[in-house]
Amino acid sequence: MGTQIPVWFEVGSLVVLLVILAADVFLAFRRPHIPSTRESAIWIAFYVFLALVFSGLLFAIGDADHASEFLAGWLTEYSLSIDNLFVFLLIMARFSVPRKYQQEILMVGIIIALVLRGIFILLGAQLIEHVSWIFYLFGLFLIYTAVHQAVTDHSDEKDRESRLIAFLRSRLSVTEHFSGAKITTVVAGKRLLTPALVVFIALGTTDLVFALDSIPAIFGITTNPFLVFAANVFALMGLRQLYFLLGDLVEKLVYLKYGIAAILGFIGVKLFLHALHENAVPFINGGHAVEWAPDISTLASLAVIVAAMAIAVGASVIRLRIDARRNLVRETR
């Protein structure tokens, strides 16, 4: 890359993003309610618009490479975050979290996710800088994750979450009732824990697992820590509204997991090819670069990511319509 992103732009962007996030947190806690479909759609459109504006600024201040890397990274993280929604739905259902409190609890979960991903990004950047062969491990891990994503049923995730929640309940004394997002409450003069604490632990554990997948994936798009973190912030900022907009529809998008698996597998292969292209491992090609290994461009990655999600969502919608027609035919008989 020839053009560097100015430090003032990086710092200014992070400050603006944190202010917007703080405002989002304030609104979620100030006025707990169940967002309407219209409200959720408006907020998601607003965050998508912000991401596109940010990409335009990167193009103007940096160059086309920075802008395309951010867009590809943002779309990757956004598509992976959609899969998070299913597990969030499971956790909320397990604890029977009242709908009007779900905004607050989701917001806390998103903040936990940002902190964890920030730590992982810093660690990943250091590994990439000092351990040249780490791309081999990242690539193989993503290919394994892609296969696991394609063959794992959501019921397996449900069983895993049930075991985690059962373990937490057996170790902690909690009340049966929520008090918003508060983790403690007073019952009969005694301060006790609320189920919100266990929900936060479950969400945090889930975020940690997803960070293990998403951070190596975006490092396959760009190794710039600023772009990596910015893509994660933009992907998570609209997650709360997306949760209420899609709701149970996430579970009905039956082919979504294959689209996500395709993205992870593609980036895994890209990382492995990049590692071969920059090879310095002594027992591979004598420690020299493998000349025939192609280096897949960011624009090609962007096209694959968009195509994979479009095909997965489109196929799922077609499947929904076919199933609806079959059900209608059965009912009329």
Query: pLDDT: is 157 or 128 the higher one?
Result: 128
Domains of the chain, by residue range, sit at 7-251
pLDDT tens readout for residues 182-225: 777 777 677 777 777 778 877 777 777 777 777 888 888 888 88
* Crossing angle for the helix pair 37-61 and 239-246, to the nearest 10 degrees: 140
- C-alpha 203/C-alpha 210 separation (Å) is 10
CB-CB contact of 227 with 73 (8 Å): yes
Q: Categorize the per-residue pLDDT at 180 as very low, low, confident or very high, splitting at 50, 70 and 90.
A: low
On average, the pLDDT of the chain sits at: 79
Those residues with Cβ within 8 angstroms of residue 80's Cβ, 6 or more apart along the chain or in another chain: 210, 213, 214, 217, 235, 260, 263, 264
Q: What is the dihedral of CA 88, 89, 90, 94, to 10 degrees?
A: 100
pLDDT confidence of residue 130: 77
The tokens for 114 are 């940002």
- C-alpha 86/C-alpha 94 separation (Å) is 12
Query: pLDDT: is 235 or 55 the higher one?
Result: 55
pLDDT tens readout for residues 72-122: 889 888 887 777 777 777 777 777 788 777 777 888 878 887 888 888 888
pLDDT tens readout for residues 222-268: 888 899 889 888 888 777 778 777 765 666 777 888 888 888 888 88
Q: Which amino acid is at 240?
A: R
Q: Which amino acid is at 103?
A: Q
pLDDT tens readout for residues 20-41: 888 877 776 777 667 777 888 8
pLDDT confidence of residue 163: 64
Task: Provide the 3-class DSSP secondary structure of residue 192.
Answer: strand
Please state the rounded mean pLDDT for residues 124-132. 79
Q: Is pLDDT of 1 > 50?
A: no
pLDDT confidence of residue 302: 85
In sequence order, what are the beta bridge partners of 181? 179
Of 139, 142, 149, which Cα lies nearest the Cα of 261?
A: 149
Of 150, 130, 148, which Cα lies nearest the Cα of 140?
A: 148
CB-CB contact of 194 with 90 (8 Å): no
Q: Is pLDDT of 144 > 90?
A: no
In sequence order, what are the beta bridge partners of 193? 174, 184
